[in-house]
Amino acid sequence: MGAAGEAEVRLELPHEQAALTDLNGDKRKELPRGSSYRFPVRPQQIVTMRFRTKSAVPEVPPLLAWDPLAPKVKRAMLHEYSNEKGYPPLGH
């Protein structure tokens, strides 16, 4: 195993609180206020951070077609790829 180290995360979005948690959001460890956070890490450790903001993040609409993500010149080829289930727009 490698040696433990220190991680630094910089968040330049408005937020009120920051905490380290486990993957489920439990075992919360509050971090001091600021935009830069430093904390110890172990080799291959998965780090989960939670940030509280004044408002919720808007709900992301489902992606029902790949067209908005593809350049206009490639969209015709996009529709030739597959009609298998799982390929937007929902197998059509």
Secondary structure letter of residue 80 according to DSSP: H
Identify the H or E element spanning 36.
Answer: strand 36-41
Domain that holds residue 85: 63-92
Q: What digits encode the pLDDT tens for the residues 20-33? A: 998 888 999 999 98
Same-domain status, 40 and 19: yes
pLDDT tens digits, 42-77: 888 888 999 988 888 789 888 888 888 889 998 888
Q: Which residue has the tokens 């486990």?
A: 22
Give the global pTM. 0.52
In a domain, 57, yes or no: no
Same structural domain for residues 70 and 46?
Answer: no
Q: Are residues 13 and 45 in the same domain?
A: yes
Total count of domains within the chain: 2
Same domain membership, residue 48 and residue 11: yes
Same domain, 80 and 45: no
